[in-house]
Structure 1
Amino acid sequence: MDGRYGDSTRSVKAVGSEPVPGSPVAPPPVPASTFHLSPDESESLDKYGRYSNPTWRQLESALAELEGAAAALTFGSGMAAITSVLRVLAKPGHTLVVPGDGYNQVRRYAREYLAPQGVTVVEAASAEMCHAASDAHVVLAETPANPGLDVVDLHRLAMDCRRRGSTLVVDNTTATPLGQQPLSLGADLVVASATKALSGHSDVIAGYVAGSHPELMAAVEQDRLLAGPILGVFEAWLVLRSLGSAGLRFERQCHNAQALAVMLRNHPAVKSVRYPGLPDDPSHQIAMLQMKKFGGLVAIELENAQAVHTMVERSALLVASTSFGGIHTSVDRRARWGDPVGDGFARISAGIEDTDDLIADFEHALA
Structure 2
Amino acid sequence: MDAQGKERFAKLLHHRAGALEKGAPVAPPIVSATTYHLPEVEGASHVYGRMSMPTWDAVEAQLGILEDAPCVAFPSGMAAISAALFATLTDRKKLIIPADGYYVTRVLSAEFLAAYGVEVIEVPTAGIEVADVSGGAVVFIETPSNPGLDCCDISLIAQRVRTAGGLLIVDNTTMTPLLQRPLDLGADMVVAADTKAPGGHSDILFGHVATRDVDLAARVRNWRKLSGATPGAFEAWLLHRGIETLEVRLERMCASAQIIAERLADHPTVQNLRYPGLPGDPSHAIAKRQMAGFGFLIGFELASAEQAEAFLSACPYITQTTSFGGTHSAGERRARWGDPVAPGFIRLSVGVEPVEPLWAAIKAALDG
TM bracket, shorter-chain basis: over 0.9
Partner SS state of residue 273, structure 2? strand
Amino acid at match of 1:32: A
Equivalent in the alignment of 1:36? 37
Give per-residue Cα distances to partners, 1:198-247, cap 9 Å, x unaligned.
00000000000011111000001011100011101100000001110010
Aligned counterpart, 1:123: 122
Match of 1:215 in 2: 215
CA distances 1:43-65 after superposition (whole Å, capped 9, x unpaired): 41201100001110110111011
Q: How many angstroms apart in 2 are the aligned matches of 1:119 and 1:310?
A: 42
Q: Is the 8 A contact 1:68 1:181 kept in 2?
A: no
Q: Return the letter of the residue paired with 2:296.
A: G
CA contact (8 A) 1:321 1:331 kept: yes
**Separation of aligned partners in 2, 1:56 and 1:218:** 16
- Contact kept, 8 Å, 1:59 with 1:236, in 2: the verdict is yes
Tell me how far 1:306 sits from its aligned partner.
1.4
Aligned to 1:338: 338
- Aligned partner of 2:276 in structure 1 is 276
TM-superposed deviation, 1:13: 3.6
1:36-115 to structure 2, matched below 5 A, reads: 36-37=37-38, 39-69=39-69, 71-91=70-90, 94-115=93-114
Equivalents in 2 of 1:27, 1:339: separation in Å? 40
- For residues 16 and 305 of structure 2, the distance between their equivalents in structure 1, rounded to whole angstroms, comes to 42
CA distance 1:94–1:32, change in 2 (3 Å): same
Question: Separation in 2 of the partners of 1:262 and 1:223?
Answer: 44
- 1:5 counterpart SS class: helix
Q: Which amino acid counterpart does residue 255 of structure 2 have in structure 1?
A: H
Distance 1:348 1:257 in 2: 9
**1:179–1:292 contact (8 Å) kept in structure 2:** yes
Pair 333,4 (structure 1): closer, same or farther in 2 beyond 3 Å: closer
Report matched runs for 1:2-41 at 5 Å: 3=4, 5=6, 9=10, 11-13=12-14, 18-37=19-38, 39-41=39-41
Q: Aligned in 2, Cα 1:48/1:130: closer, same or farther, shift over 3 Å? A: same
Structure 1: distance between partners of 2:315 and 2:170 = 35
Distance 1:4 1:291, change over 3 A: closer
Counterpart of 1:131 in structure 2: which amino acid? V
Task: Give the drift of 1:131.
Answer: 2.0
CA contact 2:198–2:243 (8 Å) conserved in 1: yes
Instruction: Report the CA distance shift for 1:255/1:15 in structure 2 as closer, same or farther (over 3 A).
Output: farther
User: Identity, % of aligned pairs?
Assistant: 44
Q: Does 1:233 align with 2:233?
A: yes
Asked if 1:242 is matched to 2:242, the reply is yes
CA distance in 1, matches of 2:16, 2:247: 12
Q: Which 5+ residue runs of structure 1 have no aligned equivalent?
A: none
1:190 is paired with a residue whose SS is: strand
Aligned pair 1:169/2:169, yes or no? yes
- Between 1:93-102 and 1:180-189, the stretch displaced more is 93-102
Runs of 5+ consecutive residues of structure 2 not aligned to the other structure: none
Which whole-Å CA distance do the structure 2 matches of 1:145 and 1:293 have between them? 15
Identify the residue that residue 154 of structure 1 maps to in structure 2: 154
How many Å separate the matches in 1 of 2:114 and 2:91?
8
2:4 match: secondary structure: coil
Shift in alpha-carbon separation, 1:8–1:60, aligned structure 2, 3 A: closer
Q: How far apart, in 1, do the equivalents of 2:267 and 2:22 lie?
A: 57
1:148–1:274 contact (8 Å) kept in structure 2: yes
How far is the alpha carbon of 1:249 from its aligned partner? Answer: 0.6
Amino acid at match of 2:121: V
Q: Once the two structures are superposed, what CA deviation does each residue of 1:126-152 show, in whole Å capped at 9, x if it has no partner?
A: 111122242252000111100000011
8 Å Cα contact 1:169/1:190 also seen in 2:
yes
CA RMSD of aligned residues (A): 1.6
